Amino acid sequence: MKQRPDDIVLVEGDNDLNVQMVPIALVGWVLPTGHIDPSGRWYNPERAYDDDINTDANPSSSYYNQPLELTLDSPIYCNKVKICADSYGREHFDYCAANVKVEVYYDGAYHTIHSGLLGPDYDGYPARKLWVELLIPAGTKLVSKARIRWNVLYSGIYFWEFAFWSEG
Ligand SMILES: [Ca+2]
Protein backbone atom coordinates (compact mmCIF):
# COMPACT_ATOMS: atom_id res chain seq x y z
CA MET A 1 0.00 0.00 0.00
CA LYS A 2 1.29 3.41 -0.93
CA GLN A 3 1.72 5.74 1.99
CA ARG A 4 1.44 9.45 1.98
CA PRO A 5 4.48 11.15 3.53
CA ASP A 6 2.42 12.51 6.38
CA ASP A 7 1.03 9.17 7.49
CA ILE A 8 1.99 8.26 11.03
CA VAL A 9 3.32 4.74 11.25
CA LEU A 10 3.37 3.02 14.60
CA VAL A 11 5.63 -0.01 14.87
CA GLU A 12 6.04 -2.46 17.67
CA GLY A 13 9.13 -1.97 19.73
CA ASP A 14 10.84 1.35 20.11
CA ASN A 15 8.53 4.19 19.41
CA ASP A 16 10.25 7.46 19.97
CA LEU A 17 7.29 9.20 18.45
CA ASN A 18 5.11 10.44 21.25
CA VAL A 19 1.53 10.47 20.05
CA GLN A 20 -0.62 12.83 22.05
CA MET A 21 -4.35 12.38 22.12
CA VAL A 22 -6.07 15.75 21.79
CA PRO A 23 -9.83 16.10 22.24
CA ILE A 24 -11.41 17.01 18.92
CA ALA A 25 -13.39 20.24 19.08
CA LEU A 26 -16.34 20.00 16.75
CA VAL A 27 -17.83 22.88 14.88
CA GLY A 28 -21.47 23.33 15.75
CA TRP A 29 -23.92 24.00 18.55
CA VAL A 30 -22.78 22.79 21.95
CA LEU A 31 -25.02 22.36 24.96
CA PRO A 32 -23.91 23.65 28.36
CA THR A 33 -22.62 20.84 30.56
CA GLY A 34 -23.71 22.29 33.89
CA HIS A 35 -25.13 25.28 35.72
CA ILE A 36 -24.64 27.59 38.68
CA ASP A 37 -27.73 28.97 40.38
CA PRO A 38 -26.27 31.58 42.78
CA SER A 39 -29.60 32.53 44.34
CA GLY A 40 -30.96 28.99 44.48
CA ARG A 41 -34.25 30.39 43.15
CA TRP A 42 -34.40 28.56 39.82
CA TYR A 43 -36.60 25.51 39.36
CA ASN A 44 -35.30 22.77 37.07
CA PRO A 45 -32.26 24.74 35.83
CA GLU A 46 -30.97 21.68 33.94
CA ARG A 47 -34.01 21.92 31.68
CA ALA A 48 -32.48 25.00 30.01
CA TYR A 49 -29.92 22.70 28.38
CA ASP A 50 -31.51 19.25 28.13
CA ASP A 51 -31.83 19.48 24.32
CA ASP A 52 -35.62 19.44 24.66
CA ILE A 53 -37.49 22.55 23.55
CA ASN A 54 -40.58 21.40 25.45
CA THR A 55 -39.01 21.55 28.92
CA ASP A 56 -38.18 24.79 30.68
CA ALA A 57 -36.26 26.23 33.58
CA ASN A 58 -37.82 29.07 35.55
CA PRO A 59 -37.17 31.12 38.67
CA SER A 60 -39.86 31.72 41.24
CA SER A 61 -41.56 34.85 39.91
CA SER A 62 -40.51 37.35 42.57
CA TYR A 63 -36.90 36.37 41.87
CA TYR A 64 -37.18 36.90 38.11
CA ASN A 65 -34.01 39.02 38.08
CA GLN A 66 -31.81 36.33 39.62
CA PRO A 67 -29.36 34.98 37.03
CA LEU A 68 -28.78 31.43 35.95
CA GLU A 69 -25.25 30.59 34.80
CA LEU A 70 -24.79 27.88 32.16
CA THR A 71 -21.32 26.38 32.16
CA LEU A 72 -18.99 24.32 29.95
CA ASP A 73 -16.61 21.67 31.27
CA SER A 74 -13.92 23.05 28.96
CA PRO A 75 -13.85 26.50 27.34
CA ILE A 76 -14.60 26.62 23.62
CA TYR A 77 -13.87 29.10 20.85
CA CYS A 78 -17.24 30.71 20.38
CA ASN A 79 -18.62 33.72 18.50
CA LYS A 80 -22.34 33.38 19.20
CA VAL A 81 -24.96 31.71 21.36
CA LYS A 82 -28.60 30.88 20.79
CA ILE A 83 -31.48 31.04 23.22
CA CYS A 84 -35.11 29.98 23.17
CA ALA A 85 -37.29 31.63 25.81
CA ASP A 86 -40.78 33.04 26.37
CA SER A 87 -42.67 34.88 29.08
CA TYR A 88 -46.31 34.85 30.10
CA GLY A 89 -48.91 37.37 31.10
CA ARG A 90 -47.39 40.77 30.55
CA GLU A 91 -50.47 42.49 29.16
CA HIS A 92 -53.09 40.04 28.02
CA PHE A 93 -52.30 37.00 30.13
CA ASP A 94 -50.87 35.20 27.16
CA TYR A 95 -47.40 34.12 26.16
CA CYS A 96 -45.20 37.03 25.18
CA ALA A 97 -41.62 37.80 24.29
CA ALA A 98 -38.86 37.31 26.83
CA ASN A 99 -36.97 40.41 27.91
CA VAL A 100 -33.62 39.11 29.07
CA LYS A 101 -30.02 40.02 29.71
CA VAL A 102 -27.46 37.62 28.26
CA GLU A 103 -23.84 37.80 29.33
CA VAL A 104 -20.95 35.67 28.09
CA TYR A 105 -17.80 34.97 30.10
CA TYR A 106 -14.43 35.48 28.37
CA ASP A 107 -11.14 37.30 29.06
CA GLY A 108 -11.76 36.91 32.77
CA ALA A 109 -15.10 38.69 32.99
CA TYR A 110 -18.75 38.63 31.98
CA HIS A 111 -19.66 40.74 28.95
CA THR A 112 -23.23 41.73 28.09
CA ILE A 113 -24.06 40.70 24.53
CA HIS A 114 -27.80 41.38 24.70
CA SER A 115 -30.32 43.11 26.96
CA GLY A 116 -33.91 43.45 25.80
CA LEU A 117 -36.58 41.51 23.96
CA LEU A 118 -35.61 38.30 22.20
CA GLY A 119 -36.80 38.93 18.68
CA PRO A 120 -39.93 40.86 17.70
CA ASP A 121 -42.37 41.62 20.48
CA TYR A 122 -45.61 39.66 20.50
CA ASP A 123 -48.52 38.79 22.70
CA GLY A 124 -50.40 35.66 22.02
CA TYR A 125 -50.99 32.01 22.60
CA PRO A 126 -49.23 29.62 22.09
CA ALA A 127 -45.63 29.90 23.21
CA ARG A 128 -43.50 30.97 20.27
CA LYS A 129 -40.35 28.97 21.13
CA LEU A 130 -38.34 31.12 18.77
CA TRP A 131 -34.61 30.48 18.59
CA VAL A 132 -32.70 33.76 18.70
CA GLU A 133 -29.01 33.86 17.83
CA LEU A 134 -26.89 36.46 19.61
CA LEU A 135 -23.46 37.34 18.25
CA ILE A 136 -20.55 38.16 20.54
CA PRO A 137 -19.76 41.70 19.30
CA ALA A 138 -16.04 41.26 20.06
CA GLY A 139 -15.91 38.21 17.76
CA THR A 140 -14.58 34.76 18.53
CA LYS A 141 -13.57 34.35 22.17
CA LEU A 142 -12.56 31.51 24.45
CA VAL A 143 -15.85 31.14 26.31
CA SER A 144 -16.50 29.11 29.45
CA LYS A 145 -20.01 30.11 30.52
CA ALA A 146 -23.00 32.38 30.03
CA ARG A 147 -25.34 34.14 32.43
CA ILE A 148 -29.03 34.77 31.75
CA ARG A 149 -31.60 36.75 33.70
CA TRP A 150 -35.01 38.29 32.97
CA ASN A 151 -35.16 42.10 32.94
CA VAL A 152 -38.89 42.39 33.57
CA LEU A 153 -41.30 40.72 35.99
CA TYR A 154 -43.77 38.43 34.26
CA SER A 155 -46.22 36.00 35.76
CA GLY A 156 -44.45 33.22 33.88
CA ILE A 157 -40.89 32.69 32.72
CA TYR A 158 -40.00 29.90 30.31
CA PHE A 159 -36.33 29.35 29.62
CA TRP A 160 -36.65 26.52 27.12
CA GLU A 161 -33.14 26.03 25.80
CA PHE A 162 -29.66 27.47 25.30
CA ALA A 163 -26.55 26.54 23.29
CA PHE A 164 -23.07 27.84 22.49
CA TRP A 165 -21.65 27.88 18.96
CA SER A 166 -18.29 26.11 18.86
CA GLU A 167 -15.89 27.36 16.21
CA GLY A 168 -13.91 24.15 16.57
CA1 LIG B 1 -35.31 22.27 27.63
CA of 48 to the centre of ligand 1 (A): 5
Q: Which residues surround ligand 1, an ion (CB under 5 A)?
A: 47, 50, 52, 55, 161
Predicted pLDDT at 105: 98
User: Could you read off the pLDDT tens digit of each residue along the chain, which spans 168 residues?
Assistant: 444 445 555 556 555 666 666 666 689 999 999 999 999 999 999 999 999 999 999 998 789 999 999 999 999 999 999 999 999 987 778 899 999 999 999 999 999 999 999 988 888 888 999 999 999 999 999 999 999 999 998 889 999 999 999 999
Number of H helices, E strands in the chain: 0, 12
CA of 136 to the centre of ligand 1 (A): 23
Predicted pLDDT at 3: 46
Predicted pLDDT at 6: 53
CA of 168 to the centre of ligand 1 (A): 24
Q: Would you list the domain boundaries of the chain?
A: 28-167
CA of 47 to the centre of ligand 1 (A): 4
Predicted pLDDT at 14: 58
Architecture of the domain whose range is 28-167: Sandwich (2.60)
Predicted pLDDT at 15: 56
CA of 161 to the centre of ligand 1 (A): 5
Predicted pLDDT at 68: 98
Predicted pLDDT at 1: 44
